[in-house]
Structure 1
Amino acid sequence: MLFLQNILRVLGLTCLMVFTFQAVANDEGLSWDKRVVHGELANGFRYYLFDSRQEKDAPKGLTLANLVVLSGAIDEEENQLGVAHMVEHMVFHESDGLPHGVRKAFTDLGLKQGRDFNAMTNSENTRYMVNLKNTTAEQLNAVLGIYQQIAFHAKIKASSLDKERLIIQEEWRGKLSHRSRVNDEKKALLRVGSLYPERPVIGTQETIKNTQASELRHFYQDWYAPNNMALVIYAPVDSVELEKQIKRTFGSEPKRVLPKRHPKDPLLDTDLKMGQLTDSGSKVNRVALLYRFKNEHANTDESRRDGLIDYMTRNLLTDQIRRQRDVLPDHVRVLSSTKGSVSPNVDILGFSVNVDEGYHALGLETLIQELERIKAHGFYQQDFDQVYQKVEKVAERNKDASKSRGTIWSVKMVDAVTSDKILHDPKESNDRLLQLVKTISLKDVNARLKQWLSSPDRILYTQAVGGKNIDIGMPESVTAIFDEMRSRPLGALEKEKTVATKVLPETAKNGSVSLISRNTELGVSNWSLSNGDQLTLLDPSVLAERYQIDPLETDTKTFFTAVSAAGYNVKNGSTWAEQIAVQMADATGIYGWTDEEFQQWRKENSVFLSSKQKAQSLAYRGAIENDDLATLLGVYRANQVTPNIDKDVYDSIMASLKRSAGVDVVRPIEMFSRRLAQARFEQSQTALALSDLTPLSLEKLNQVRHKQVALPVQYFMVSRLPEKQVTNLAAAYLANIPRDTASYDQSSYETAPVIQQAGQAIVDVSLNTEPKAEYRLYAYQAVPWSPIAAVQLTYLGERLEAQLKQRLRSEVQGVYSVRVGLDLNKETNRAELKIQYSSSPERLDDLAEMTKKALTELPKMITEEWVDEIHKAFADVEQNRLEKDFDGTLVHRLELSETLYGDARYLDEMDELASGLTVVKLKAFAETLNFNDRVIGLYRPLD
């Protein structure tokens, strides 16, 4: 992800990279999509309803109910920092009609916080979300009643606030990190001139501790008004009846006069503002330049036309920036751009380059030169013609894509409400766009480009490794560089390269395949290939009939997996070489082709083959339409038959690795993680060093790659194609791949699992520069892998997490969030447990003791009620998995079964997966889990 895209994501900005012109502010010409029932009560309360039964593929019984309060942190006064967020927490406590609290009312409905109900606050709004899995009229009415209490009847008692402060404080503490510090610096730069940097959503440590309940009640009375709210519901219910219930529930609260809102848009000026990101944890050298400008929407076709011009200009600019990377000087790289919104009516266009240490000035000069070059020359006509055709294709495609959105309806409705826009009928809006695009020319797009790049409100900032101070001059000297570049006769822009159309290399003489065994009841057959590889083939239609799974229109793909023992954790040799060789081979694509040629071929043929290397295995996976299976097998074959690494790929990746390894910045949390890894795995070095890279020449890595592909391979295919057709393709593309390990030292193939060492250890360090402590636990226990045990451990982990949250958060307010992972590792036959949370430094040791005690009480956490709940939940998940992705599920389970058992028995026992989810069996299993082999990490602030 490019740097500036990360900036915009952090700030909650709306990227314009996706072509979605279905919402235009206050548009009177295009109405709301008729499938959405919407209205406004007499008191100003608005509602937007979608009956999911309108779509045949909608999740059955699912309701997504959102109560949106159109106020957030930007509406706070100077003495109210964090109040909007604190109110969001407090409305879950007592209310007029729910003296025991809103949270209890939700849980009494069988809902779980985090999973079924939650809330969030940002700068502009506050949102409450409820999910009902099996909707009934009674449940939905109950949710509406609870929402009414949240909206109008919260008590916000001082005694409850004092308890909640501790949780909010831990939420604030949990966000403290290098990343948050840098993001805050970026936010202050990008939104300078507005209130956003001065209104942190979560507040400050001081305001969380000291803000009085009366201030929260004041904000609540000001902004939690019916005329400042909207209800958005996606549900399988009659919208007319739901409308009546909404009127009964929310219609009696009187409309109120809202306070005057603070301006959201920054004040733009003609100054070049300069800044620097100074966090000492920085690992990159960068120069960024950003332009800010007005972009207001109106209710006219002219506004929609402007939106189209923006979209076309942005697309052309992205492509041109990519091409200009080819002419960057040494020490400057990764020229990138992005566009987004910093506020409702102000957009930002940003550019950046990465540089080597000591070359920020060159990076700045290069960045300005390339921007002035693009501005002076404008885009090429042939490029405009292509983006014009893209607009037409996307508009036509959008008409059909919106016919079945599923739960995306909820997302789109909420987005329209929070941005004060209209969700148009896609056919009407896209037909209108198709008419408007005919009025747009290259001249219009180039004019918009010049308008953007002539915006006087600009922000320039630098970032350096370790937060070092960088001097790139004053605004006057930067302006002089702009003037100098404008006076130069800058060369023409780079043109799109002509990319040759490639075809896969022809296969050699076919190999052969022979049947080893067959299981007709499961539809599984095992085959031996003439090169020593083996193929396990599954016809899913056999099991579909057995499990009564109806075929879908999308069941037209073949799933392919190829697994070898080419893991990275070799006993003799470089583990880094094994990993880098695979990375470079993937980047090479097909040896002898350029990257552009391979990417074009892959896009045209819709072929995507991914690799995943583990300590003791290397797997390639892909799925493709049945008619194109030969193409997928062909690209895999080319990868194996010609496993050479392209020199340009080698040079590029090796340079990047050396730059990363050469950065001498080690963040405190990284030091903590390294010490934990050393305690767990007895590894003295866990980070890549320059000394690891020095011996890795292209010749050496090619040798490693050739050694890897010489290993025999086990193939798994799930396909509804005729068996003979699949085996013929295997003979043509797979059976003739050379496999010859005899040419290599057999000891070079020996690998070892990466496993935590036996015993107990505590890593207790005081390194954190923030007022935050962290607890981590890594433990394991030997458990033979089985599908039933894997399911049991998954749910036991969820139960442990829920109970730890209850004890550490709700009962003692010691943490904000707890993360627990409990999985059965099939490679190591170990149940592996991970627990992680942050807390105040003063409470870390007490919370660690509570965690230790909770682990011993896992069997007591298993109750009849909980087991009934997870049994039903698993049945729903499994049924949905099989109905929606039967073939994809089978390929995963087939691979597991054949690898671990040597046969396909897992497929024969899928209907027994829930048999382990009983109180007796879960308790008995939990009794065996002591996790005596453990490493505990305690990360404290600096002394």
Structure 2
Amino acid sequence: MPNKRLLNLSLIGVFLLCMGCSTPLSKTLTDKGPANVHTTSDFSGPLPISSRVIKGQLDNGMTYLIRQNNTPEKRAEIRLIVKAGSILEDDNQQGFAHFVEHMAFNGTEDFDKQEIVEYVESIGMKFGAHLNAYTSFNETVYKLQIPSDEAGALEKGIHILENWAHKIKFDALEIDKERGVVLEEMRARQGAGWRVFNKQLPIIYQDSQYALRLPIGNKESIEHGAHQDLVRFYKDWYRPELMALVAVGDFDPNQVQALFETYFSSIEMAPSRNKQRPSYFIPDNAAPLVTIETDPELTRTTVEIQIKQTLIEPVTYTQYYQTLVSQLFIDMLNGRFGEATLAPKAPVISAGSSFGRFRADKSAFTLAATAKPKKSKEVVAFLLTELNRVLQHGFTQSELDRFKQSVLSKLDNAAKEIDTTQSSRLANEYVRHIVKGESIAGIDHYYTIGKKFLPLITLDEVNAIDETWFTAKNRIIKIAAPESDKSSLPSKVELLALISSDTTTSHCLSR
């Protein structure tokens, strides 16, 4: 087998099988398909939406996804998705996307303060477990689980979502009272992982809006931000063309569709809501971005290196084919890492690789390991050695055959369990479809595609992954360690020197 070009990098993760959770690709593909794929009308073009899903759009631009699913019985999962998060905040609004989410539970036009929580608890549900919300960089999602056999409960739940969409009150007294609640949540997050992430954030998202807009916000804005700026965020971004609805559960989908029409069709885009939603991206970096952080409360040292790639969601058959190629590469590489970690002198507790979404317009190939105490330098060498062995010599046909069968078996098993999939899992999948554009072709169809495509994938295709993934630019190197391990950690200069001194891989980094 010809030698492969080599790489001298390192990090961890889990490459998720595309069971409704998609994996981004690293190069632009056309819909003509790989050379050895005989595309037909059934296996070319865009991936379909599962026939089990009703997808629609109201006249005001609000979209919805509905699916009948009877696991668990007599329950419904409903979601309001707002494609607005902390990334859209002005400088004087930092933390206000999250603050708006809090205010949704402090009174709306149709539900007084605590009435929503009290109602949900009166029908046997619990705040937190069945009634909740979250705010991220790009979205805010409100979640309700409702007993679908309770008279009027499903309609009441949808009515609650409608109030959150455009009827939050923002009572001045309640805003000021809620400041303390948000600040307490901010304080509660001040654990080791949070502190380390806050140090890493400006480095891993360098020169991007993401480095400046952590969803929790900042103390100054939460304590002293103006009421009108909080309300302005709500009016600017909570508008129908930026919102979507999801309902999955044991119900009549036609009834849910009618309720969506009844409660949400009347929401109009007011003239004041014409603010253009900007798009923010992660810039390329020519030199490696390095962050080495310690914290006294950390208990283990982790070593990570990522290589950012252009993001493509697999929404066509051709892209899904390439996703399967990528899946096989990652699975086989993780098989090699699994064997290597069993060696008595291995400096790692665990090690692995992944390929998936990074942030915004980027995905990333990732290697990572949890180091044994005081072994961070050795971990870097360990990861590079195992990866370079693969890149130099490639995988074997027997490995490919074995992992092809493994992927197909996982798809088969998941397809057999399609009627027992939890509604909450499906609802979360549909939220990702709305927010991130992930495919929702359905596991039964992914299994059909897998049976078609997996036999066609060649060893050369899998071994050629390095031609697009492993580049000298766009690298991020992260080490996080207990304070007690600080003396054994490499400095930034030493870490870069350690990587560049790997003579077996130096030519790869120069391309």
Q: Into which bin does the TM-score normalised by the smaller protein fall?
A: 0.7 to 0.9
Contact 2:76 2:250 in 1 (8 A): yes
Query: Which one of the candidate residues 229, 232, 238 is aligned to 2:246?
Result: 232
Using a 3 Å threshold, how does the CA distance of structure 1 residues 475 and 411 change in structure 2: closer, same or farther? closer
Q: Over the residues paired in the alignment, what is the CA RMSD in angstroms?
A: 3.1
The 5 Å alignment of 1:183-262 reads 183-255=197-269, 259-262=275-278
1:305 aligned onto 2:304: no
For residues 250-302 of structure 1, the C-alpha deviation after alignment (integer angstroms, 9 at most, x for no partner) is 10112466644444442122212222113233444554332222231354322
Corresponding residue number in structure 2 for 1:125:
139
Consecutive unaligned residues in structure 1, runs of 5 or more: 9-14, 489-943
Contact 1:17 1:315 in 2 (8 A): no
1:274 is paired with a residue of what secondary structure?
A: strand
Query: Which one of the candidate residues 350, 362, 367 is aligned to 1:346?
Result: 362
2:502 is paired with a residue of what secondary structure?
A: helix
CA displacement at 1:352 relative to structure 2: 3.2
Corresponding residue number in structure 2 for 1:148:
162
Corresponding residue number in structure 1 for 2:92:
79
The 5 Å alignment of 1:516-535 reads none
1:410 aligned onto 2:430: no
Query: Which one of the candidate residues 451, 466, 491 is aligned to 1:434?
Result: 451
Contact 1:50 1:233 in 2 (8 A): yes
CA displacement at 1:479 relative to structure 2: 5.1
Write the letter of the residue equivalent to 1:33.
S
For residues 471-507 of structure 1, the C-alpha deviation after alignment (integer angstroms, 9 at most, x for no partner) is 443576245313455589xxxxxxxxxxxxxxxxxxx
Write the letter of the residue equivalent to 1:245.
L
1:336 aligned onto 2:347: no
Using a 3 Å threshold, how does the CA distance of structure 1 residues 248 and 321 change in structure 2: closer, same or farther? same
1:291 aligned onto 2:311: no
Using a 3 Å threshold, how does the CA distance of structure 1 residues 442 and 92 change in structure 2: closer, same or farther? same
1:403 is paired with a residue of what secondary structure?
A: helix
For residues 824-873 of structure 1, the C-alpha deviation after alignment (integer angstroms, 9 at most, x for no partner) is xxxxxxxxxxxxxxxxxxxxxxxxxxxxxxxxxxxxxxxxxxxxxxxxxx
What is the alpha-carbon distance in structure 2 between the residues aligned to residue 248 and residue 367 of structure 1? 57
1:296 is paired with a residue of what secondary structure?
A: coil
The 5 Å alignment of 1:757-796 reads none
Corresponding residue number in structure 2 for 1:267:
283
For residues 373-424 of structure 1, the C-alpha deviation after alignment (integer angstroms, 9 at most, x for no partner) is 3221221221111112223323333332213324233333333333223421
Using a 3 Å threshold, how does the CA distance of structure 1 residues 115 and 362 change in structure 2: closer, same or farther? closer
For residues 160-198 of structure 1, the C-alpha deviation after alignment (integer angstroms, 9 at most, x for no partner) is 100111111111111112232123334444444433332
For residues 897-920 of structure 1, the C-alpha deviation after alignment (integer angstroms, 9 at most, x for no partner) is xxxxxxxxxxxxxxxxxxxxxxxx
The 5 Å alignment of 1:470-869 reads 470-472=489-491, 473=493, 477-478=497-498, 480-483=500-503, 485=505
Contact 1:63 1:234 in 2 (8 A): yes
Corresponding residue number in structure 2 for 1:278:
294
Corresponding residue number in structure 1 for 2:408:
392
Corresponding residue number in structure 2 for 1:66:
79
Query: Which one of the candidate residues 383, 407, 417 is aligned to 1:401?
Result: 417
Query: Which one of the candidate residues 54, 61, 69 is aligned to 1:37?
Result: 54
- Percent sequence identity is 21
Corresponding residue number in structure 2 for 1:48:
65
Using a 3 Å threshold, how does the CA distance of structure 1 residues 89 and 335 change in structure 2: closer, same or farther? closer
Using a 3 Å threshold, how does the CA distance of structure 1 residues 265 and 443 change in structure 2: closer, same or farther? farther
Contact 1:328 1:366 in 2 (8 A): no
Write the letter of the residue equivalent to 1:436.
F
What is the alpha-carbon distance in structure 2 between the residues aligned to residue 140 and residue 39 of structure 1? 19
Could you tell which deviates more after superposition, 365-374 or 298-307? 365-374
Using a 3 Å threshold, how does the CA distance of structure 1 residues 429 and 259 change in structure 2: closer, same or farther? farther
Consecutive unaligned residues in structure 2, runs of 5 or more: 1-9, 25-30, 32-43
What is the alpha-carbon distance in structure 2 between the residues aligned to residue 22 and residue 180 of structure 1? 26
Using a 3 Å threshold, how does the CA distance of structure 1 residues 287 and 222 change in structure 2: closer, same or farther? same
CA displacement at 1:242 relative to structure 2: 2.3
1:254 is paired with a residue of what secondary structure?
A: coil
Contact 2:500 2:506 in 1 (8 A): no
Contact 1:313 1:445 in 2 (8 A): yes
What is the alpha-carbon distance in structure 2 between the residues aligned to residue 322 and residue 186 of structure 1? 28
CA displacement at 1:239 relative to structure 2: 1.7
What is the alpha-carbon distance in structure 2 between the residues aligned to residue 152 and residue 90 of structure 1? 12
2:185 is paired with a residue of what secondary structure?
A: helix
Corresponding residue number in structure 2 for 1:821:
none
Contact 1:29 1:299 in 2 (8 A): yes
Write the letter of the residue equivalent to 1:82.
G
Corresponding residue number in structure 1 for 2:35:
none
What is the alpha-carbon distance in structure 2 between the residues aligned to residue 481 and residue 182 of structure 1? 28
For residues 523-578 of structure 1, the C-alpha deviation after alignment (integer angstroms, 9 at most, x for no partner) is xxxxxxxxxxxxxxxxxxxxxxxxxxxxxxxxxxxxxxxxxxxxxxxxxxxxxxxx
Write the letter of the residue equivalent to 1:39.
G
1:173 aligned onto 2:184: no
What is the alpha-carbon distance in structure 2 between the residues aligned to residue 59 and residue 487 of structure 1? 55
What is the alpha-carbon distance in structure 2 between the residues aligned to residue 170 and residue 352 of structure 1? 33
What is the alpha-carbon distance in structure 1 between the residues aligned to residue 220 and residue 97 of structure 2? 15
What is the alpha-carbon distance in structure 2 between the residues aligned to residue 447 and residue 235 of structure 1? 43
Corresponding residue number in structure 1 for 2:37:
none
Contact 2:105 2:116 in 1 (8 A): no
Query: TM-score with structure 1 length normalisation?
Result: 0.46
How many residue pairs are counted as aligned between the two chains?
Answer: 470
Write the letter of the residue equivalent to 2:413.
R
Write the letter of the residue equivalent to 1:482.
D
Could you tell which deviates more after superposition, 149-158 or 109-118? 109-118
Using a 3 Å threshold, how does the CA distance of structure 1 residues 433 and 277 change in structure 2: closer, same or farther? same
CA displacement at 1:119 relative to structure 2: 1.8
Contact 2:281 2:360 in 1 (8 A): yes
1:107 aligned onto 2:124: no
2:170 is paired with a residue of what secondary structure?
A: coil
